[in-house]
Structure formats: structure tokens, C-alpha cells
Structure 1
Amino acid sequence: MQQKNTTTDLIDSYFRDSHEKLLSEKNVVSELVVELAQAKKIISNKEIISALISKLEVESDVVKLDAYRAALEIVLEATPDD
């Protein structure tokens, strides 16, 4: 249960104060987090970034590609340098 709260916090931190402006990107990241949770993977920025890159490699729909790229940019910006 702790992982779910942390994941929710992670998503919220990406999109804090974004309101409707980034709704499609928030939906993309939320769907990826659900997919990762169902696969019982640890959900981290690295896992989300990897999943977004995988989606970009196989998607052909231009609208979805734009949403994936924008979501990836947001996650990368929110990821602390290690």
C-alpha cells in the first residue's frame, strides 16, 4: 500500500499546479503507472522513463506520440540528478 501512495505522490508532483493544461500527459503517465503496477514492477522515474521510451518506439499515432514526448519531457524535468 505504501507504494501506491508514493506513486500517487510522484504523479502529483509531476503535474502540480498544471490544471487542465497537461491533462493528456497526466493521463499518459497515470496509465503507465497502472501498467507498471500490474506487472508488479517497482515504480520509479527510471521505470516510467523506460516505459515512455518504449511507447515512443512502437507508436504510429501522431497525437499519442506528442503526448508521450510531452510526458517524457515532464518526467525528465522532474527527475532529480543522481
Structure 2
Amino acid sequence: MHDVSYTHVTLADYILTEDPELLVENETVTRIYKNLKKQKEVVTHKDIILCLIQKIEQESDTDKQDIYLEALEYVVYRTPDDDIV
């Protein structure tokens, strides 16, 4: 039996959404998740958010920056709030 992390389940819930307006954001987040998964055993929402921020800062093409920014908004708005202890 495979141990599925909370982040993986949550990502799958919205990456697989069928809203055509979110297609580019889905593809971008999916690609980033897969790249991070190659480097880390567990990928968190924070990892994806940090990666997107880095890509926005490093990208010189404004169209690509916009795609990364929209993907960042997509992840942030769909990320569950952290529990405050």
C-alpha cells in the first residue's frame, strides 16, 4: 500500500480539474510538481509556491512571467490555510 501525502492528494484534487480556463495553470503546476518530486520525496505547497516565485523573478519574458504569476495565484488560492497551533 502506498503512503499518499496530504499535499499529493490536495494537488491531485485541483490539478485534475476540468475547467478549461485553468489549463495553463494546471500544466504549469503539474510540471513544477513533477520536477520537484524528482528532487524531493515530499513536495509541499510551499515548495511549489517558492519555485513559482523564483521562476517569476528569473524570467525575462513577460508572457512567461504572467503564466507563472497566474499559476502562483492558482496555487495560493487553492492551498489550505496552515494550521495555527
TM-score range, shorter chain: 0.7 to 0.9
Aligned residues: 81
Shift in Å at residue 40 of structure 1? 2.0
Larger Rg: 2
**1:46/1:5 Cα in 2 relative to 1: closer, same or farther (>3 Å)?**
closer
Identity of aligned residues (%): 36
- Structure 2 residue aligned with 1:81: 81
Structure 2 gaps of 5+ residues are none
Shift in Å at residue 68 of structure 1? 0.7
Deviations along 1:26-73, whole A, 9 cap, x unmatched?
Answer: 111011001101112421111110110111110112221111111111
TM-score under structure 2 length normalisation: 0.77
Structure 1 gaps of 5+ residues are none
The residue correspondences of 1:1-82 to structure 2 (distance < 5 A) are 1-3=2-4, 7=8, 9-15=9-15, 17-82=17-82
Output the aligned Cα RMSD: 2.3
